[in-house]
Amino acid sequence: MKRRDFMQMSGMGLGALMFPSVPLIGNPVSAEHLMEPWLDAAAKKQLSETALNAAKSKGATYTDVRIGRYLQQYVFTREKQVQNIVNAESYGIGIRVIVNGTWGFSATSDVTPDGIAKCAATAAAIAKANSKFQKEPVVLAEQKGVGDKTWKTPTVKNAFEIPVKEKIDLLMNVNGAAMDNGAGFVTSNLFFVNEQKYFASSDGSFIDQDIHRIWPTFTVTVIDKAAGKFKTRDAISSPMGMGFEYLDGVTSEKIPGPNGLVGYRNSYDMVEDAIAAAKQAKEKITAKSVMAGKYDLVLDPNHLGLTIHESVGHPTELDRVLGYEANYAGTSFATLDKWESKNFNYGSKLVNIVADKTQPHSLGAVGYDDEGVPCKEWDIIKDGVLVNYQATRDQVSILGEKESHGCCYADNWNSVQFQRMPNISLKPGTEKRSVLDMIKGVEKGIYIIGRGSYSIDQQRYNFQFGGQVFYEIKNGQLAGMLDDVAYQSNTQEFWNSCSQICDKDDYRTFGSFFDGKGQPSQVSAVSHGSATTRFDGVNVINTGRKI
């Protein structure tokens, strides 16, 4: 489902049953049921062997099987009330085969030997039907079977074990704090996800993984009825690959910014942020409307993460580069010839961007991808130059590499896996530099915090981003809040205007919990780390209108 649809639904406060078409959302169950154990690894191995054998007997030259149990707990509140609590479970099996050099996929919730055999036969029949018109047979990078393996997100507190009441109490405190500080309305949500995935392939891999993710968020609205105006401020939390401990709000993980602003690293103080949000939304009502023009931008990691996601993450997906997403998400300006030239200046020399699926606490961190490939870290942009892409087993040979990058993911057992973005992060600067140091050097600029409106073209050249809060920078100092701010730029121009990056002490991850891609659309969760970064002379427009 599209990220936008999802947020609209939650915003409307509709019930659990509002989600019939969301593949991620399974069948609502009790909170206790989420803690019940599922099939053990031995049973899953046996079922996956049934699938592997059935597919082989139908002519498959390669088969992979994903037996998945996907758990979600979502809590939605507004002001003083709980709007909805969704406890959902979805389980089933997805079987992917290669027959006659062509992919076929089928999935079923009937996880019995009969159901599995039928499903494998359907996958093979689909592959056969499509192979009639196939001109390029699938070439898979070699992946030796890894045997029996397990991997688990390192969590301190399993969010599913925390009583629902504790979660509601937290959100009520958040809402109360916002209302006490001038909010007219507040909605707050908690999202918890647990993917229990068993992967087996005809290569001889049998991988059992237990993956946890969390996202606390809210929107505070302040209304000025007399003026007929309203302003909002969203949480500056980040979705994380963590347990409930992310909500501990420990002081050591807070990063103090200018003018009492606070950034959060691997621990989030939701109540503190709600108070700040209410105050800032109120300030936005009377904030000065920006004068359009060129500004030096100082971008907080909680904002910059989305810019990285859209302008580096998506354009370096190899499937987009090759044209596989041409009909939907689009293609990419970062074409193979640019990569082959070894001198395409994606950004200034300061820009070093890495891909990984290993960073602790990140959304992308897993042991193995959905093709059974062990996860790793690699460079995408080195010293400003484009050096690599993100690829899967059936793509990586195009790059002259023998080993997949491990970027294959499916959002559910009933979705077919394909290339998805790993964590894509900007390395912090090597020189010691705080946000205050950076601001001191800016004459005419804007300091932007938080994820706002975002839009980019289908080849990832031209983009426009908003934010949550904007502060004018005048002669090295913050000079009050601005409103109606959005910046427009061209990806290459923008990254080449990168002139300073704060050091590792300011480094944090931003995350996208429901990143959409593909047809049918699938979601995935991905983190983007960075420290506060400066970009010079960026075009800022004024978005104020009257209707």
**Residues in 238-297 at the binding interface with other proteins, rule: CB under 8 A:** none
Given 144, 342, 402, 546, the residue binding other proteins (CB under 8 A) = 546
Pick 417 or 434: Cβ nearer other proteins: 417
Residues 487-506 that bind other proteins (CB under 8 A): 488, 490
Instruction: Report the residue from 39, 140, 179, 223 that binds other proteins according to the rule CB under 8 A.
Output: 223
Stretch that binds other proteins, among 154-162, 248-256, 345-353, 456-464 (CB under 8 A): 456-464
Q: Find out whether 422 and 353 touch, Cβ atoms under 8 Å.
A: no
Q: 227, 251, 342, 400: which one contacts other proteins (CB under 8 A)?
A: 227
Binding mask 94-133 for other proteins (x = CB under 8 A): --------xxxxxxxx------------xx-xxx-xx-xx
185 contacts other proteins (rule: CB under 8 A): yes
User: Does residue 487 contact residue 299 with C-beta atoms inside 8 Å?
Assistant: no
2 counts as binding other proteins under rule CB under 8 A: no
**Closer CB to other proteins, 458 or 477, in the complex:** 458
Give 9 or 387: the residue with its C-beta nearer to other proteins.
9
* Paired tokens of 333: 């300006």
Residue by residue, DSSP assigns 79-141 as TTEEEEEEEEEEEEEEEEEEETTEEEEEEES--SHHHHHHHHHHHHHHHHHHHTT--S---PP
- If the CB atoms of residues 130 and 348 are measured against other proteins, the closer one turns out to be 130
d(CA 439, CA 434): 9
Q: Which is nearer to other proteins, 317 or 484 (CB)?
A: 484
Interface with other proteins includes 156 (CB under 8 A)?
no
- CA separation for the pair 310, 380 (Å, rounded): 14
Q: Which residues of 509-537 are buried (b: 16+ CB within 10 A; e: fewer)?
A: bbbbbbbbbbeebbbbbbbbbbbbbbbbe
Does the protein bind other proteins through residue 18 (CB under 8 A)? Answer: yes
Residue 537: strand, helix, or coil: strand
Check if the beta carbon of residue 544 is closer than 8 Å to that of residue 287: no
Does the protein bind other proteins through residue 21 (CB under 8 A)? yes
- The span of 1-9, 364-372, 375-383, 429-437 binding other proteins (CB under 8 A) equals 1-9
Q: Report how far residue 164's alpha carbon sits from residue 212's, in angstroms, rounded to the nearest whole number.
A: 17
| Three-state SS at 473 | strand
The answer to whether 311 and 463 are in contact (CB under 8 A) is: yes
Of 77-85, 174-182, 348-356, 366-374, the segment contacting other proteins by CB under 8 A is 77-85
Which CB atom, from 15 or from 256, has the smaller least distance to other proteins?
A: 15
* Contacts (CB under 8 A) with other proteins, residues 35-74: none
**Rounded CA separation 247/264 (Å):** 11
Stretch that binds other proteins, among 8-16, 346-354, 382-390, 502-510 (CB under 8 A): 8-16
DSSP H or E run through 68: strand 62-78
* Span 381-400, contacts to other proteins by CB under 8 A: none
The verdict on 345 binding other proteins (CB under 8 A) reads no
